[in-house]
A and B are shown apart, each in its own frame.
Chain A
């Protein structure tokens, strides 16, 4: 089957009646319905769209001199700049890049508009982040009078028309391959992986292509000579399980192009966290605590906004040599209170920050969520928590009415003045 990339018509020749010259051809095109949509260089593209004077420059969106790259445009990528790269390294590679602090509110709004366009096609949209999502278009043919592939071509073009932003789409028969496909032909790509070629396609790919295999996982696999997905397949399910337990069995299934996960629009958030990289490395406990407090307030505010409370607290520290440690603690009951998050996080911090090690980043997060209604009840020995809960609820209410500056704690003022 061949489709025109411009108008989504099915065509027989090499040129479409609409004049479009680009086409999408694949034998299984009519049978595939799981898609992954990824916005191309999302933050950087938005900035370039909104300020045409940036057009000729490599653009990096990220926080401050000491921060990391959030996104960079394709031009910047030609210099080797990548997202999550420390800013100083990015600027070394590409000194003439325009660095933009970024406006999260704008990006969230843009992400919301694009998501709404996806949801107009199917309710089965599972967002992974602000700029990417899975879609399951099974059963939408009759509704739209078009195959999933045709609907997706139209969506891709409609997003360009409406928002002047490009997206890349991967279409396959499961989530793993759809996401892998969307990465193959960026920007403004449309890639298809069908059942016919899935195994051959994976055979020579590096193991890091598999979801859940990061640098550490790749090293662990490499140790047993497993470099390519084909090696995992050759090892077989028993050996994979023997070597790596459930994880090994899972990787083997993926190597067989088998990913049973469904597109789940209610895919629940697993953690809420906030972190920050410092302008200068920090070693003193008290200074770290001052930075920690506003992060705790941020996490608490996000929990409150989504009416949820977390039972597990995680503290993350990255030292000047980029070594990351995380410390986790199970709380006595679910919480969404900044003061409580801070009290526990600071204890975990005090055990790590001995005044000798310099840190460049600190983060705090909650996970293991339950309904906010059951949180922060205190107990027979703890009458303070319910009082604190009432106080923070009142502060949140005041802030929602009069803005974030309406109520400030002394501790927060201390850090915000320095910013």
Chain B
């Protein structure tokens, strides 16, 4: 294998693929990135056996070939090369090393045979559709904060994507950790209807988000019962799905909460943040007292102090008090795009619904804390 590639093109592709490589690996080749040079492309691939990211970059290939080398050294070295550098890759047939050179810099890296690199079979993708990167990014952003990290209920460790009929076919994303739930939907793209419901793992979501930040063209999504594949321009992300069934989340979304509270979202989240200064590490509990046209936020932590703040609000139901985890309130407020956040409450012990005045296709459910 011998080729020349422009540093920025190489760095972009390397940056996209290397983050999937686990820091510590018991299988040595999983620390490596697979490089395949053919035609006028250098294709880089990295995997942790659950996720595979592959990205092509334009290169001047003098001799086609394949090899693998440690991802972290390769990435760090290329990152430190000067902008605009022209990078040469060379593997002599009789040398078990990869030589990377740019200007006067040379790096020899040990290689492992490309034939040993595990590849993820890409068959059985029955559902295929396309979606705008901004729409997909929105579905991910509005839900991923609610993904659970609990290992017992492993089926909550991802975003549940599925289609529903809700005034027309929708592609819906849901995440929940049992204490909060986030739901966002988008008009179902052509071909998405009837796709199997899939749980996309947290790590895949994080990798996808990185790729989406650089994506401009339509994202091609292919789904099989075990796997999902996202093709974004030159990059392809393939991931195993979480093998489990997502709970019947619809029953935790309150339907008949009649007490409505409307607050300025920005003022509300700033006030929550301020009073939460003294909240207890473990519960992060904030009490909301709703009465007339104001809401009073209080944190009373015997170990730290008492913080309180009044906020004008639109509220006409009976006075009530309810407690929430401050971080959960801030997470939700962070996703609300409109000026106002709409709360629908029942009582201090029941789940509360939060809506975004500017986005009817998203909703959030928060379980209150006892205060």
Which residues in A have some Cβ–Cβ distance to B below 8 Å? 329-332, 344, 347, 370, 379-382
Contacts and interface: CB of A to CB of B under 8 A. Distances in A.
Contacts, number: 31
A146 B151 CA distance: 59
Given A379-B178, A380-B252, A381-B176, 5 more contacts: A329-B152, A330-B151, A331-B152, A379-B179, A381-B178
B270 to A, nearest CB: 27
Contact of B247 (A330, A344, A347, A381): A381
B152 A380 contact: no
Contacts of B150: 332
B252 A381 contact: yes
21 contacts: A330-B151, A332-B150, A332-B152, A332-B153, A344-B152, A347-B152, A370-B282, A379-B177, A379-B178, A379-B179, A379-B367, A380-B176, A380-B179, A380-B181, A380-B252, A380-B351, A380-B365, A380-B367, A381-B153, A381-B178, A381-B249
Interface string B156-184: 10000000000000000000111101000
Contacts of B151: 329-330
Contact of B178 (A331, A344, A380): A380
A275 B177 CA distance: 33
Nearest to A343: B152
A135 B351 CA distance: 51
Nearest to A331: B152
Interface residues of B, number: 17
Contacts of B177: 379
A405 to B, nearest CB: 32
Majority-rule SS of A interface residues:
strand
Nearest to B247: A381
Nearest to A377: B370
Q: Which 4 pairs between the two chains have the least Cβ-Cβ distance?
A: A379-B178, A380-B252, A381-B178, A332-B150
A331 B149 CA distance: 11
A382 B148 CA distance: 14
A154 to B, nearest CB: 42
Nearest to B248: A381
B152 A382 contact: no
Nearest to B367: A380
Nearest to B156: A381
Interface string B86-112: 000000000000000000000000000
Interface in B215-260: 247, 249, 252
A331 B181 CA distance: 20
A159 B5 CA distance: 86
A277 B282 CA distance: 37
A331 B150 CA distance: 8
A379 B179 CA distance: 6
Contacts of A382: 178
A320 B310 CA distance: 65
Contacts of B367: 379-380
B68 to A, nearest CB: 31
Interface string B71-90: 00000000000000000000
A134 B351 CA distance: 50
A294 to B, nearest CB: 22
Nearest to A347: B152
Contacts of B247: 381
A332 B151 CA distance: 9
A376 to B, nearest CB: 13
Contacts of B179: 379-380
Which of B178, B249, B351 counts the most chain A CB atoms within 10 A? B178
Contacts of A331: 152
A93 to B, nearest CB: 42
A382 B179 CA distance: 10
A37 to B, nearest CB: 35
A247 to B, nearest CB: 23
A370 B181 CA distance: 26
Nearest to B283: A374
A330 B153 CA distance: 12
Contacts of A380: 176, 178-179, 181, 252, 351, 365, 367
Contacts of A332: 150, 152-153, 178
A382 B181 CA distance: 14
Contacts of A379: 177-179, 367
Nearest to A380: B252
Nearest to A344: B152
Contacts of A381: 153, 156, 176, 178, 247, 249, 252
A350 to B, nearest CB: 13
A341 to B, nearest CB: 12
Contacts of B152: 329, 331-332, 344, 347
A187 to B, nearest CB: 46
Interface string B305-325: 000000000000000000000
Contacts of B252: 380-381
A370 B280 CA distance: 14
Contacts of A329: 151-152
A380 B249 CA distance: 9
Contacts of A370: 282
A129 B153 CA distance: 37
B284 to A, nearest CB: 14
Nearest to B150: A332
A370 B282 CA distance: 11
Interface hub of A330, A370, A380 (most chain B Cβ within 10 A): A380
A380 B175 CA distance: 13
Nearest to A332: B150
B123 to A, nearest CB: 30
Nearest to B179: A379
B255 to A, nearest CB: 14
Nearest to A379: B178
A331 to B, nearest CB: 8
A331 B365 CA distance: 23
Contacts of B156: 381
Contacts of B365: 380
A113 B179 CA distance: 47
A105 B249 CA distance: 49
Interface string B355-369: 000000000010100
A380 B156 CA distance: 13
A347 B156 CA distance: 17
A96 to B, nearest CB: 51
A381 B146 CA distance: 14
A53 B154 CA distance: 60
Contacts of B249: 381
A197 to B, nearest CB: 43
A344 B152 CA distance: 8
Contacts of A330: 151
